[in-house]
Structure 1
Amino acid sequence: MSGIFTHIGDIAENIPVITSDTKCEAVYRLFRSNPNLEGVAIVGAEGMPSLLMRARFFQQIGTQYGYNLYMGRPVELVMNNGPLVVDYMEQITDVSIQAMNRSEEELYDLVLVTSKGALSGAISIRRLLLAVADVRAEMASFMNPLTGLPGNRIIDDRLCQSYLLERFSVLYLDLDYFKSYNDSYGFKMGDALIQATADLLRQYFTVPEAFLGHIGGDDFIVILNHHEFRKDCEEVIAGFEELKREFYNS
């Protein structure tokens, strides 16, 4: 897709990084001097980053003996050793699912992002959810609103990709006399027929072997990564002959 971020690393923001032997007192000053700072990343000798969220830190030191217990001791005593860490190239939507599947206690923690094994940044849940909303809105603009199938922009991309394949087949499907049917039965019935046709095609042409797109109106396209299409086409035609009976008055 163009015009929108899809990789999680594209929306990552800088996050302060400290070492695991940093004293809690120093972290306390860091949080106090940066009221909007949600958390800090901790990098230890093993390389994988850990995380310390602001809320959890103040919760720890806010106990009866917490302040005196932790202030002079290293931050590794209170940090989260198992935060959600994702690679820069992971998809935003995939990361959002991982984030929402975390425990209740960690649900709103920052997500840490690495690139080639090194910490690249972090993402707040608010920023992540806003990005997911943007991705979904952008995806919707690429889909046919009637059938939910990929529309012309995605179809064009898939056709260009197919030229790189060793072999492929392109099937163009439309409904005979659809305009006459629309004129006789009305647009509502016509739309229902197109939706039913799309559902029928989905049964036979599914990824990864096939790509099914909706050009518009009663026109569909299928792109296959092989040449064995005759049997499926015959079954689709037979299925449609059965299906269309439901759309005529007896």
Structure 2
Amino acid sequence: MYDDLARDLARILETGTVRTLFQPIVDTRQQQVFGYEALSRGPSDSLLHAAPLLFETAERCERTVELERACLRMAAATWASHGIPHKLFVNVSPALLMPPVFQKVRLRHLLEQHGLNPSDIVVELSERYPAIDLSTLRGSLSWLQEQGFAVAIDDLGSGYSGLKLWAELKPDFVKIDRHFIRGIDADLVKKEFVRSVVDLSRRLGCQLIAEGVETEAEQRVMTALGITYIQGFLYGRPAAIPGADLAPLVRARPPAPKSPGRETARHLTESVPPASPSTTLAEAWERLQAEPGVYALPVVEDGRPLGLLHKWRVLETFSSPYGRSLNERHSVTTMLSTDALVVDRDTPLESVSRLLVDEDVHYLKQHFIVTENQRYVGLGSTRSVLQRITEEKVARARHANPLSGLPGNVPIQQEMERRVTASEAFDLIYFDINHFKPLNDVLGYRTGDQVIVQLADILTSLFRADEAFVGHIGGDDFVVMTDGPGSVRLCERAQVLFGRDCQGHYPASMRQAGRVQSLDRTGAQSTFPLVSLSAGIVRVPTGDERTPAQLADTASLAKTRAKGAAGGLYIETTEPRPSARAVS
């Protein structure tokens, strides 16, 4: 086995077929990519494809320096071909920086050959490798820093020399080993260790990078501790093309409750570079192997999607006897799935979910194609859609009114703020039940609860368009926000249905009389009509400068006027008042 690995390593070094992947490092404070770490792999069909075995074999064969130089050459060439305006982090062992191996002329030539600037490169030195002569190593690193390179210590905490290296080498960056990040939200010891590292970095003027962040909970701890540079699967996996597997950077912000039903396919679209009809199956398989997070490649011609090439299908064919040799030169179109779901990027996630579930009763598709004006823009995953909808339902349940199950005051406020910020035109409708207290007093609170639930059902059934929002403020007060047509007609229909459904709660004598006897708010006996529904409508035009608080006041006033209006309906058509932000 060792001889096979040694021969494979020799072939890789002779042919220069080492591959480079890039994983993003995100600045969560600026909400943008800060840089990419170059990660080396063997060819996909090699026994040495995995990095640990590749470098372990090189060390056993005493060819580590050769392999590292090959990795640096490939990283420089690949990085230059993409022209990405971010910092490139490259891994170097101390042995490569010690004379006579370290040659400044060779380094300058590599930079000039690919048009790279030292200020764009961060040299990562791992503490996993022993550095015998620290003074000589420090001399090489000092020269690199004078030329404009930045220096980083990788894997802090994985060995015994990390703090010594930090003190001796004075790096620009220190990367905390993933061991101390994994599960830090539930581990007090890890949290205190990282907190001490943060304190030390502040005193020494060094930037920290947290490696291996994979969950929102871990990210929240990093934010609380003040670490802004993050690397991990939460933001992106290693990919052959920088940014190909980059997660939406909004995830770097503290998660805020989302407005129900307002997210669209664009929010979960991943930018996966497409293949063309001329791409061979061998070329496509290389990409699918190099990009672990990609399980299907979109095939696009002149901007228009033709279908999806699924990883499982290629694997199934290539795994059969002679399958690869017989098929690898064929076009991707020979295995193309043309029944892929295609949706516009503005399609609401609820609609995408229904399409995914309803389109085929035999299986649930893993991916769908997202377009804009019928042209390909990216891929979406079914898992992400279902996860996001589940998150929305959980958040909705957390802030829902316990009686009606509708969104309560928190999501109502968020939805209004979202619409105001987006300068959307919409109708804000405030519903209120007239004479609800006498019904409660005469028929009991259980009947009153049934009436409230009935109204909730009526409003959700009438205002069920994807752009509509129905919320329950509390008691007998409801709010609807919609930019759909026919608000007045729907309000009138709601009044009719509510009046009809509530009649059955009253005894026959009260229904015939059309009134009930009850105590008024002063405690005096009085006569009240049966319950009915009022609706105050506020028309909010595009670009309205009123704040959410001002709109809420206007809606409350419209509701009051609706109670005294004929038919229980009032439309606020006054010109929008300028808000404080508009005046300032």
Under a length normalisation based on structure 2, what TM-score does the superposition of the two structures give? 0.34
Offset of residue 51 of structure 1: 0.8
Which residue of 1 is the match for residue 462 of structure 2? Answer: 206
Offset of residue 114 of structure 1: 1.4
Q: Any residues of structure 2 matched to 1:153-164 within 5 Å, and which?
A: 154=412, 157=416
The AA in structure 2 aligned to 1:243 is H
Which residue of 2 is the match for residue 243 of structure 1? Answer: 505
Q: For residues 135-166 of structure 1, give each alpha carbon's deviation from its aligned partner in whole angstroms, at most 9, with x where no partner exists.
A: 22344456423113454454984xx99x966x
Which residue of 2 is the match for residue 216 of structure 1? Answer: 474
Which residue of 2 is the match for residue 108 of structure 1? Answer: 365
Which residue of 2 is the match for residue 195 of structure 1? Answer: 450
Q: Any residues of structure 2 matched to 1:217-236 within 5 Å, and which?
A: 217-220=475-478, 225-226=487-488, 236=498
CA distance in 1: counterparts of 2:290 and 2:497, whole angstroms: 69
Which residue of 2 is the match for residue 95 of structure 1? Answer: 352
CA distance in 2: counterparts of 1:36 and 1:202, whole angstroms: 42
Identity rate, percent: 21
CA distance in 1: counterparts of 2:334 and 2:433, whole angstroms: 64
Which residue of 2 is the match for residue 79 of structure 1? Answer: 336
The AA in structure 1 aligned to 2:462 is T
Aligned to 1:48, the other structure's residue is in SS state: strand
Offset of residue 40 of structure 1: 1.0
| 2:400–2:407 CA contact under 8 A, matched in 1 | yes
| 2:432–2:477 CA contact under 8 A, matched in 1 | yes
CA distance in 1: counterparts of 2:356 and 2:388, whole angstroms: 13
| 1:200–1:239 CA contact under 8 A, matched in 2 | no
Offset of residue 231 of structure 1: 9.6
CA distance in 1: counterparts of 2:500 and 2:363, whole angstroms: 53
Which residue of 1 is the match for residue 437 of structure 2? Answer: 176
Aligned to 1:195, the other structure's residue is in SS state: helix
Aligned to 1:111, the other structure's residue is in SS state: strand
- The range that moved more, 223-232 or 84-93, is 223-232
The AA in structure 2 aligned to 1:172 is D
RMSD: 4.3
Which residue of 2 is the match for residue 147 of structure 1? Answer: 404
| 2:281–2:329 CA contact under 8 A, matched in 1 | yes
Which residue of 2 is the match for residue 59 of structure 1? Answer: 316
| 2:288–2:294 CA contact under 8 A, matched in 1 | yes
State whether structure 2 residue 281 is matched by structure 1 residue 24.
Answer: yes
Aligned to 1:22, the other structure's residue is in SS state: coil
| 2:278–2:331 CA contact under 8 A, matched in 1 | yes
Taking a change above 3 Å as real, the CA distance of residues 104 and 54 of structure 1, as seen in their structure-2 partners, is farther
CA distance in 1: counterparts of 2:279 and 2:346, whole angstroms: 30
| 1:172–1:222 CA contact under 8 A, matched in 2 | no
More RCO (CA 8 Å, sep 6+): 1
Counterpart selection for 1:118 from 370, 375, 396:
375
Taking a change above 3 Å as real, the CA distance of residues 181 and 150 of structure 1, as seen in their structure-2 partners, is farther
Taking a change above 3 Å as real, the CA distance of residues 6 and 232 of structure 1, as seen in their structure-2 partners, is closer
Where structure 1 has 5 or more consecutive residues not aligned to the other structure, the ranges are none
CA distance in 2: counterparts of 1:222 and 1:125, whole angstroms: 30
Offset of residue 126 of structure 1: 1.8
The AA in structure 1 aligned to 2:454 is D
Q: For residues 193-231 of structure 1, give each alpha carbon's deviation from its aligned partner in whole angstroms, at most 9, with x where no partner exists.
A: 3134431674598338x9975331244568983389889
CA distance in 1: counterparts of 2:338 and 2:354, whole angstroms: 21
Taking a change above 3 Å as real, the CA distance of residues 192 and 49 of structure 1, as seen in their structure-2 partners, is farther
The AA in structure 1 aligned to 2:453 is A
| 2:366–2:381 CA contact under 8 A, matched in 1 | yes
Counterpart selection for 1:136 from 356, 378, 393:
393
Under a length normalisation based on structure 1, what TM-score does the superposition of the two structures give? 0.72
CA distance in 1: counterparts of 2:293 and 2:399, whole angstroms: 37
Aligned to 2:388, the other structure's residue is in SS state: helix
Bigger radius of gyration, 1 or 2? Answer: 2
| 2:432–2:476 CA contact under 8 A, matched in 1 | no
Taking a change above 3 Å as real, the CA distance of residues 106 and 19 of structure 1, as seen in their structure-2 partners, is farther
Taking a change above 3 Å as real, the CA distance of residues 164 and 85 of structure 1, as seen in their structure-2 partners, is closer
How many equivalent pairs are there? 237
State whether structure 2 residue 270 is matched by structure 1 residue 9.
Answer: no
| 2:397–2:407 CA contact under 8 A, matched in 1 | no
CA distance in 2: counterparts of 1:231 and 1:29, whole angstroms: 60
The AA in structure 1 aligned to 2:433 is L
CA distance in 1: counterparts of 2:330 and 2:496, whole angstroms: 74
- The range that moved more, 76-85 or 105-114, is 105-114
| 1:169–1:226 CA contact under 8 A, matched in 2 | no
The AA in structure 1 aligned to 2:487 is N
The AA in structure 2 aligned to 1:216 is G
| 1:146–1:195 CA contact under 8 A, matched in 2 | no
CA distance in 1: counterparts of 2:362 and 2:303, whole angstroms: 25
Taking a change above 3 Å as real, the CA distance of residues 115 and 199 of structure 1, as seen in their structure-2 partners, is same
CA distance in 2: counterparts of 1:229 and 1:75, whole angstroms: 54
